[in-house]
Structures are given as C-alpha cells and as structure tokens.
Amino acid sequence: MKLLHTADWHLGAKLGRHDRMADHQSALRTLLEVAASERPDLIIHAGDLFDAYRPPYPALRLGVTALQRLARIAPTVVIGGNHDSGALFDVLDDMAGMASPRRLWFVTTPRVLKFDGLAEDPVAVACVPFIPPGAITDYATAAASRFEGDYADGIRNLNDHVIGRAREAVGPHGIVLYAAHLHVDGARPGNSERRFTVGEDHATHTKGLHRALYCAFGHIHDPQQLPGSARGRYAGSLIPLDYGEGGQTKHAVVVTIGDDVQISERELPPGRPLQSFAGTLHELEERAANGALDGCFLKAVVKSDDPIPELTDLVAEWSPRCVIFNLVNEVANRPVKAISGAEDGDEPSIEDLFVEWRGTAATGKATKAPRDTVLALFRDAVAGARDEEGPDFGLTGLTMRAEEVLAALREPSGGGAAEHRDRPYTGAPGRPRGD
C-alpha cells in the first residue's frame, strides 16, 4: 500500500499583520498534484490543520475544500493538534460521516480506525491527537486514580494500548500505522514552535512504536526523521510560517509499504520568500533595485550615521511589490545629553525635566515646549503633593460626594433618599456604619 503523510498546515496563520492565504493556496495546489500523481491508498494529516481554535472563514473553507479533494483520491484521516479546536473537529467529523461511502475522518480522542480493501491485508491506524499534560491521566490507564508517572509515561501507556488494539483489529499479518501530534524527546524543534508545548514537560519517547510499520507525526515544524528506532517522520509544516523556518525546505511524505517500507519526500513550494537583511542603505538599494525584492517579505535592519527619512518609501520605490514585515533604522549619531556630576552644577529641576520630556520623549519626536497653562498646572500639582494646603484640582469635592453616595447605599432600607443625604457619615470608608 501507499501512504501520503502531511501535517501542520496552520491555515489562517499570519506573518505579523500579513495574511498567508496565497502561500497556503500555492502549497496546497502542489500537494493535491502530488496526491493525484502518487495515487496513495491512504492519506494522514498529523494535526494542526488550522492556526487557531476559531479559524477565519476563508481559512476554514480552504481547509475543508482541500481535504474534500484529497478524500476523493484516498480515505483521509485528520488528527487534532494543539492549535485545533476539538469542538470544531467534532462538527466536521459529524458532517464527514454523512457521506456514503465515508472518505474523511477527524479524530479528537485516541482511537483506532480500521480500513479494509486498501491493501491485500487490512489496515489499522492508531490515532493519538495532541494530549494536554493535564489530561494525560484520563487516557494513560483504565483507572486514572491508579496512574503514577509523568507525561511521557502516560503517553507510553496510551501508545501501548492503541497500538495493541490496532494489532488485534488487523491480526498478525495486517498493517498497523501510528499517527500522533506529539513532541518526541530528541526531535529538533524549529525556531518558530511555541515552547510551551514543545519542551521537556511535553516530551515523549518512541519506546513501543516499533510495533507500527510507519509513524506519521505532526507538531514539529522542521521536517525530520523520528529519533530512536521507530520508523517514521515529522512531515513538518506546509509552508515556512515565520523567519525561524525561512531556510527550511517543506515537503509531503510518501510511504510505500511492501516487502519493506520505503520513505520518500515530495518538495512543496515555500510561498513568498522570507528575506532578511542587515547593512547600509546603499547595500539595501543594491539588493532591492529593479524590483529584486518584489513578492518577498522583508525583515531589514538598515544602519546609518544619521536618521534616514522616509525609509519605507525608498524601499517601495526600489521594489514596489515588496511586503515589508519589519524595517528598522539603526542610527549611530543620535543626540545624547551629557550626564554631569554634582561638581559640574546642580541637577535639573523636576520642572526642567518635565519641559524636556514634553518636548521630546512624550511623543517620540521633537514638539513644542509645554504651553504656559500646562506648565502652571504641573507646578500646582507638584506643590500640592508636598503641601497639605496645596490645590487638589477638585478631588476633595468629588471624594466627599462619593462618600455621601456610599453612605446612602449602606443605609438600611426604609428611609428616603433625602433622609440619607442629610444624615452625616461618620464611619470609615469601606466599612459598615456603627448604628
């Protein structure tokens, strides 16, 4: 039989504020072409179909449409990743179950799917979607109260259970496959993975997975072979999702199972290139001239002695269709006010510092000095902070009124509003009255 393995589409993902829909569409077109050419008997998506629990409607439509087209080629199994919504997957699974014959499955809890007619022998897929650490005791043993161990121990117990059930379902000569969205200890995380779910606390191991002929993993975005003795791979993400993945080649995995297991890769287009730059303005001009950066995402640090005005406009002039992700001007000759010691004179007054702040740092650029009215209010505020008799800008009146209202609210029911208002309040703020 032949298997097509993909994972981590992250549909709906953005690079900063920039949508990646066009890049996802390009990669999915090629993936569909690979599926049509290879004609696999089974397709496994190993999790993180979407980038968020509530994907945007265009991303939802793109994902469902692509999976429907894959399912026309071969039965398709999608397991839930840590970015996927179990509730949404349950709805999609119910809808997919209305088709006859059924060709598409969404898996949100560990289970075994058995397929007849895909190969000479029956096929079973042991599915383990992403399991949060707090939920592992619900799946590790038959009785959660008897489980003692860490996350890795729980996943190992779960794997033994589902692979054992898969083996029972197909018999001694059947084909057992394993699909999971997990972090295996020893795998090489890419720079973009969220460390909360890719770390020692979430690390599992491959012990016992040798019982499956192939292990289709998702969760790690950098495509790679599984560590240890288990036969399998991380398919990796569909496209480079950020600059941490910019140098990675993305692909789909084709697995042929016969007398042995052969694993090969089919490269996918990376989408718009993620270009990084650090250098001078002249070097950036040489890089971007004549539209050389058109169709790219640009992350650049431009170094100069003095500020470069309208830097973004210059890049747009050189490469009009360049998408600027981040553009920073590092300036060497910034005006710096010398700090003088006490022997060089008195420290500036708080009023002087206020004037300086209002003129520069308050807005990030040079502005007019404070108006006389603002400066006079500032002087009054500073004086009032040190003098009990200083102005309070009306705060005392507001405070007294608030205390009167609170007193009226605390008064037992039965009296009128006027009665409460005329009665003096003698208790401490925030405490019940003594009467």
Predicted pLDDT at 419: 44
Whether 246 and 309 share a structural domain: no
Q: Which domain holds residue 132?
A: 2-267
Q: Is residue 343 part of a domain?
A: no
Identity at 427, one-letter amino acid code: G
262 and 289 belong to one structural domain: no
Residue 138 confidence (pLDDT):
79
Give the Cα-Cα-Cα angle 102, 95, 239 (nearest 5 degrees).
85
Q: Is residue 392 part of a domain?
A: no
For position 11, what pLDDT does the model report?
98
The answer to whether residues 256 and 221 belong to one domain is yes
Distance CA 426, CA 372 (A): 42
Instruction: Say yes or no: 127 and 166 in one domain.
Output: yes
What pTM, to 2 d.p., does this model score? 0.75
How much is the pLDDT for 206?
87
Query: For residue 342, what pLDDT is reported?
Result: 47
Q: Are residues 287 and 236 in the same domain?
A: no
If asked whether residues 73 and 46 sit together in one domain, one would say yes
Element (H or E) spanning 255, and its range? strand 251-257
Residues 329, 243: one domain?
no
**Radius of gyration of the CA atoms of the chain, in A:** 32
Same domain? For 292 and 216 the reply is: no
Do 305 and 210 have their domain in common? Answer: no
The pLDDT value recorded for residue 370 is 64
**Number of domains the chain is built from:** 2
Residue 227 and residue 152 share a domain: yes
pLDDT for position 355: 76
Q: Is residue 94 part of a domain?
A: yes
Whether residues 188 and 62 share a domain: the answer is yes
d(CA 50, CA 81): 9
pLDDT at 415: 47
* Strand, helix or coil for residue 193: coil
Residue 322: phi and psi, rounded to 5, are -80, 135
* CA dist., res. 391 & res. 378, Å (int): 11
pLDDT of residue 254: 98
Q: What pLDDT, on the 0 to 100 scale, is given for residue 148?
A: 66
Give domain status of residue 40, yes or no. yes
CA dihedral over 160, 165, 170, 176, signed as positive or negative: negative
> Is 202 within a domain?
yes
- Tokens 């401490």 map to which residue? 428
**Helix axis angle, 372-386 relative to 350-359, nearest 10°?**
140
**Which of 251, 267, 283 represents a domain boundary (last residue)?**
267
Q: What is the mean pLDDT of each run of 10 residues along the chain (435 residues)?
A: 97 94 97 97 98 96 98 98 96 96 97 93 96 82 64 90 95 95 87 56 83 96 91 96 91 95 95 94 95 95 92 94 93 66 61 73 53 76 62 68 78 50 43 41
Whether the CB-CB separation of 234 and 187 falls below 8 Å is answered with yes
Supply the pLDDT for residue 18. 93
Boundary residue ending a domain (237, 267, 297): 267
Residue 417 lies in a domain: no
User: Which residue, of 267, 302, 321, is where some domain finishes?
Assistant: 267
